[in-house]
């Protein structure tokens, strides 16, 4: 009879846009970590433009980022304006998770990216710059240096 602990690897999700340099840099950092420490976590890469985040996923990410009181922080152009040529247009900011979900569904490019989520530990970061991934992995105990 074998007495092995039933170890479940944590799952980290990178919310990702393949056309984004910062996303590709973050993905590269994660792959390098997994090469150096195979099996430390499972990596799930989510191209949010092909597979939109659900309302529940967004709600959790907002909580993990601790931005419940300012949902605009998860959006690009968080200052609430968009520039087109010389004109600046004010855009509506989300007041609820449902509004945030609708904005991202209608305009996925507005989502800040990359976002790295540890669902088990209830933590997330917006990895801008991508080097924030290293600090996040250290903070969570996945890497030492």
Express each pLDDT in 71-102 by its tens digit. Answer: 999 998 755 555 555 656 666 789 999 999 99
pLDDT tens across 9-37, in order? 899 999 999 999 999 999 999 999 999 99
pLDDT band for position 5 (cuts 50, 70, 90): low
Q: How many residues does the chain have?
A: 145
Give all strands of the β-sheet with 11-16 in edge-to-edge order.
Answer: 42-47, 11-16, 115-118, 123-126
Tell me the pTM: 0.86
pLDDT for position 4: 53
Average pLDDT, the chain: 89
Domain boundaries of the chain, sorted by first residue: 11-76+92-140
Considering the four listed CATH numbers 3.20.20.70, 3.40.30.10, 3.30.460.80, 1.20.1090.10, the one that applies to the domain covering 11-76+92-140 is 3.40.30.10
The rounded distance, in Å, linking the Cα atoms of 79 and 84 is 15
Question: So what's the pLDDT on residue 103?
Answer: 92
Torsions phi, psi for 109 (to 5 deg): -65, -20
Instruction: Report the alpha-carbon distance of residue 95 to residue 99 in Å, rounded.
Output: 6
């Amino acid at each position: 009879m074998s007495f092995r602990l039933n170890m479940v690897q944590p799952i980290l999700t990178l919310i990702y846009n393949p056309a984004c340099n910062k996303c590709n840099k973050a993905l590269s950092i994660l792959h390098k970590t997994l090469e150096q420490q195979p099996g430390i976590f499972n990596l799930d890469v989510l191209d949010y433009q092909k597979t939109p985040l659900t309302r529940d996923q967004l709600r959790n990410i907002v909580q993990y980022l601790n931005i419940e009181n300012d949902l605009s922080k998860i959006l690009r152009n968080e200052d609430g304006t968009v520039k087109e040529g010389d004109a600046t247009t004010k855009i509506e900011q989300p007041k609820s998770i449902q509004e945030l979900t609708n904005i991202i569904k209608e305009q996925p490019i507005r989502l800040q990216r990359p976002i790295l989520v540890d669902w088990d530990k209830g933590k997330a970061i917006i990895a801008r710059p991508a080097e924030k991934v290293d600090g996040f992995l250290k903070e969570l105990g996945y890497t030492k240096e």
